[in-house]
């Protein structure tokens, strides 16, 4: 009996493996290494080292995706990586070419996330197609789709933000908002409450006459801070950058960013994000006179 079960199990494994190429098997076997690499990067405190090492990690991910292009987990990790690298080290460049490069890299992050979103049940054709089909498909997605939804919307939103003079890009914003609204419905805690940070900036970065809502923005920032227990300093940096600046609250802007610089957070998984938050807080404080 044991021999029969063993034989059946072996045949089943052969059947499973026969559907995968050698390249796919190698790529999927690298998953623990990739996951550990993400953890190690999140724990990094030296921004220079992070900046130098991230491109190699991103290219390794893309190499694995050549072997296993349908790997939704890798696609999400690639999107997250390109988004983070661009936000931290490219978009902040002072030269016009840096903004062009940033827009291109955000588009690349979006492309990776779109593959994962397609695997979750929404193709790019539906994403950009007629509204009724888009809304119906979006409503049918479950919590498994949250990572793909979040990183598609995040990278898409930043791509649009760098091209606000293009009416075609502005017309896409309602779809970005809809994707994030679905994330909010399915899992508001994903990525340290990142969806609330998005909506905090979304409603806080515009005057009320252009669709801004300062009270709503503040509620989203407060909720993000509650979800991550005030450990993600970027929440307060974005509160200052988008909401307090738009409101003209210079004293609160200064005090908020100063608290970020003075903060000490005991959470190694947020080392890199918080180092970047402190860097941006210092840069915003240096621009304070010009911003108000």
Task: Indicate the domain borders of the chain.
Answer: 26-187, 188-193+200-292
Whether residue 38 is predicted with pLDDT greater than 90 in this model: the reply is no
What pLDDT shows up at residue 25? 66
Q: Does residue 102 register a pLDDT over 90?
A: yes
CA 55, 94, 150, 105 dihedral sign is: negative
Mean of pLDDT values over 47-67: 94
For residues 230 and 63, what is the distance between their CA atoms, to the nearest angstrom?
37
Give the pLDDT band (50/70/90) at residue 34.
confident
Residues 6+ apart with CB under 8 A from 5: none
Question: pLDDT by residue (tens digit) across 44-53?
Answer: 999 999 999 9
CB contact set of 93 (below 8 Å; sequence gap of 6+)? 99, 101, 102
Q: Which CATH superfamily is domain 26-187 in?
A: TRAP transporter T-component (1.25.40.920)
Position 8 scores a pLDDT of 36
Q: Can you give the pLDDT at residue 289?
A: 95
Report the candidate in 174, 186, 100 with the shortest Cα–Cα distance to residue 149: 186
pLDDT digit string (tens) for 174-184? 999 999 999 99
DSSP per-residue codes, 61-94: HHHHHHH-TT-HHHHHHHHHHHHHHHHHHTTT-S
Average of pLDDT values for 227-231?
Answer: 97
Which pLDDT score is estimated for 98? Answer: 87
């Amino acid at each position: 009996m044991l021999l029969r079960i063993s034989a059946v199990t072996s045949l089943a494994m052969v059947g499973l493996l026969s559907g995968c190429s050698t390249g796919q098997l190698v790529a999927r076997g690298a998953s623990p290494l990739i996951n550990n690499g993400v953890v190690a990067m999140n724990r990094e405190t030296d921004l220079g080292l992070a900046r130098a090492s991230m491109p190699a990690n991103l290219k390794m991910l893309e190499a694995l995706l050549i072997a296993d292009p349908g790997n939704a987990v890798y696609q999400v990790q690639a999107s997250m990586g390109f988004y983070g690298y661009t936000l931290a080290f490219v978009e902040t460049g002072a030269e016009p070419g840096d903004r062009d490069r940033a827009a291109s890299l955000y588009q690349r992050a979006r492309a990776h996330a779109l593959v994962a979103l397609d695997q979750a049940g929404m193709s790019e054709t539906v994403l950009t197609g007629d509204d009724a089909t888009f809304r119906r498909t979006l409503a049918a997605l479950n919590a498994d789709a949250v990572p793909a939804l979040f990183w598609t919307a995040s990278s898409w939103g930043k791509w649009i933000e760098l091209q606000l003079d293009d009416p075609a890009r502005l017309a896409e914003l309602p779809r970005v908002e809809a994707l994030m609204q679905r994330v909010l419905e399915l899992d508001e805690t994903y990525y340290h409450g990142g969806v609330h940070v998005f909506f905090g900036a979304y409603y806080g970065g515009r005057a009320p006459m252009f669709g801004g809502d300062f009270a709503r923005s503040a509620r989203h920032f407060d909720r993000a801070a509650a979800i991550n227990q005030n450990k993600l300093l970027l929440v307060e940096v974005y509160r200052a950058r988008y909401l307090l600046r738009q409101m003209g609250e210079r004293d609160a802007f200064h005090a908020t960013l100063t608290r970020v610089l003075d903060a000490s957070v005991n959470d190694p998984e947020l080392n890199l994000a918080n180092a970047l938050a402190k860097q941006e807080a210092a840069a915003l404080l240096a621009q304070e006179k010009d911003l108000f």
